């Protein structure tokens, strides 16, 4: 582990066995681990019997914590950044810290690992050579509708993320805009014991989600291709 380097360490998205040997070694060698929330970080580190000083960096204190971390690196401390799960900066805080680090000529070293995106794609059986990752929709109803209408114009496999408690609402919104017969894959609770891929028409999967009151982490793939493999329109 090198000094004057900020390590972006990917952590498991659900199954603790998915962490890499390199990630574990870097966490063990770090002087300080920068985390999103103390509770999640302590739970993760205790699983591997690692005890480290923690600094919280989230949307509420990003500027202040980033300046503190940059100074620690300049002082010779070995620093690793983690998020609550998955890859740091991917829909998570840390961009301000990385910006400051680059401006301070600090090396950025990403440590790859678990991600929800690729497992969702590879397990879907859609043609995944090309796809459009949109990420998180706006929680505001009118903006959300406009975003979905714009996405409908794309002749692509679409990848959408959302919070667990808005799963039913998201499927309802997608059904209204794209049509209930549109083929989708709902990659649900990836890497966890309850992991399952729901494949089929939006209307059918929405009914399953409603009947079973499903609530958990997920990735939604919407096949909006007009022609080509997997198109059933």
149-177: pLDDT as tens digits: 999 999 999 999 999 999 999 999 999 99
pLDDT score, position 61: 93
pLDDT score, position 229: 55
Q: Using CA atoms, how far apart are residues 138 and 196, in angstroms rounded to an integer?
A: 26
Model pTM score: 0.89
Q: Is the pLDDT of residue 1 over 90?
A: no
State mean pLDDT over 41-49. 97
- The 3-class secondary structure across the chain, one letter per residue, is CCCCEEEEECECCCCHHHCCHHHHHHHHHCCEEEECCHHHHHHHHHHCCCCCEEEECCCCCHHHHHHHHHHHHHCCCCEEECCCCECCCCCCCCHHHHHHHHHCCCEEEEECCCCCHHHHHHCCCCCCCCCEEEEECCCCHHHHHHHHHHHHCCCCEEEEECCHHHHHHHHHHHHHHHCCCCEEEEEECCCCCCCEEEEEEHHHHHHHHHHHCCCCCEEEEEECCCCCCCCCC
């Amino acid at each position: 582990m090198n000094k004057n380097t900020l390590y972006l360490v990917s952590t498991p998205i659900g199954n603790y066995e998915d962490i890499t040997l390199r990630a574990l070694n870097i966490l063990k060698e770090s002087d300080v681990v920068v985390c999103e929330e103390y509770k999640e970080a302590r739970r993760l580190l205790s699983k591997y019997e690692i005890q480290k000083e923690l600094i919280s960096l989230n949307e509420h204190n990003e500027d202040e914590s980033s300046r503190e971390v940059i100074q620690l690196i300049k002082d010779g401390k070995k620093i690793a950044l983690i998020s609550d799960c998955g890859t740091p900066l991917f829909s998570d805080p840390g961009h301000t810290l990385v910006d400051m680090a680059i401006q301070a000529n600090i090396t950025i070293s990403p440590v790859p690992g678990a991600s929800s995106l690729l497992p969702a794609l590879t397990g879907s059986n859609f043609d995944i050579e090309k796809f459009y990752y949109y990420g998180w929709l706006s929680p505001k109803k009118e903006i959300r509708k406009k975003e979905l209408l714009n996405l409908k114009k794309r002749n692509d496999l679409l990848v959408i993320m959302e919070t667990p408690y808005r799963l039913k609402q998201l499927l309802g919104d997608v059904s209204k805009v794209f049509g209930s017969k549109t083929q989708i894959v709902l990659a649900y609770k990836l890497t966890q014991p309850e992991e399952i891929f729901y494949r089929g028409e939006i209307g059918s999967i929405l009914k399953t989600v409603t009947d079973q009151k499903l609530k958990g982490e997920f990735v939604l793939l919407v096949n909006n291709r007009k022609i080509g493999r997997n198109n059933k329109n």
